[in-house]
Structure 1
Amino acid sequence: MKRVLSLVAAGILALVLSACGAVQLKPVSIPVIPPAQLAQQVCPIVQADLDILSSASGLALLTAAQQSAVDSIKPKVSAACAAAATVDLTALQSFNSDAFPALLAIVAAVPAIPNQPAVLLALQLAQPIVQEVVTNAVAAAKAAQ
C-alpha cells in the first residue's frame, strides 16, 4: 500500500512540475526608490525603535553589550536620517551594513521590547528595501563618474 501511495504521489508531483514548466512568468519591475524617499519612510521606524531602546525602561531590558551597540549605531542612524535635502550615500551604506544588523539583533534578542514582534517585522521588511536602494545608488554613482 505504501508503495502504491508513493507512486501516486510521485506521479502527482511529476504532473505539477511539468505544469509549472509550461507556465511562463513575466518579470515584475519594481520601481527604484530614491534614497531621500527611503530615508523619509524608514527613518521614523528606526528612530522610534532607538528611542524605545534608549529610554530608561528600554535600557533596563538590555545587557551592557546591547546598550553599547545601541550607542554605537545612534550616530549612523542620525547621519543617514538627517533632515537634509539629499542623503549621503556613505551614511546610507553605513546605516545598512552596520546599524540595521545591530538593531535587528538587539530587537530579536529582547522579547520584552514593547510590540517586539511588530518592530522586528518592520525592520526585517525594511532591510532588503534599504539594501536595494543602496545597491542602485552605488551603481548610479559609478555610472555618473
Structure 2
Amino acid sequence: MANDQDSSVIKLQVAPAAPRLGSHAVTVVELERDGVPVVEVDGHPVRAQATIEVGPQDVGRRAMVTFLEGDPGQPVITGLFVEPGGAPPRRHLKLRADELDLEAASKITLECGKASITLHRDGKVVVRGVHVLSRASGVNRIRGGTVELN
C-alpha cells in the first residue's frame, strides 16, 4: 500500500530564528592567520567578511556589521567605530607571516628605547644604539666606497 506519509514519522514545525536586519555593533576579537577577522556575536566568536580593511591593530575595537540575508552566522564588517579621544595606544603587536613588507615614501624608523634603525629613501641606513653587535656564523663583511672606524 503506497502512502505519501509514513505515520511513524512526526514532522516538527520549527520557526527559523528571526533575521537580523540593519546594522549592529560588535567587537573584533581576533584576526586569524589567514587575515579573516573574527567578531563576537551574542557572546560567540564568528568569522566575518569585511568591506573595509581590518588589521591586527583593530583587535579589541568595536565594529559595525550587517548580516548576510539576516543570518547572525554571516557577519560583514562595514565600518569601525572611532572612540572618543582616538584609539588607545597598543601595548603589544605581534605579526606572524612568511614575509613582511613595510613601505614608506621617505623614511622608516624602528625605535625601542635608545636603539633605532632608520632607512632613508636615498639608500642611507642608520643604526644607533648604546651597544651594537654584529654577529655571523659565516663571513661578516663590511663593504663600502670607504670604511671608517672611529
Instruction: Pick the structure with more helix per residue.
Output: 1
TM-score, length-scaled by structure 1: 0.22
Between Structure 1 and Structure 2, whose CA radius of gyration is higher? 2
Task: Using CA pairs under 8 Å that are at least 6 residues apart, name the structure with larger relative contact order, 1 or 2.
Answer: 1
TM-score, length-scaled by structure 2: 0.22
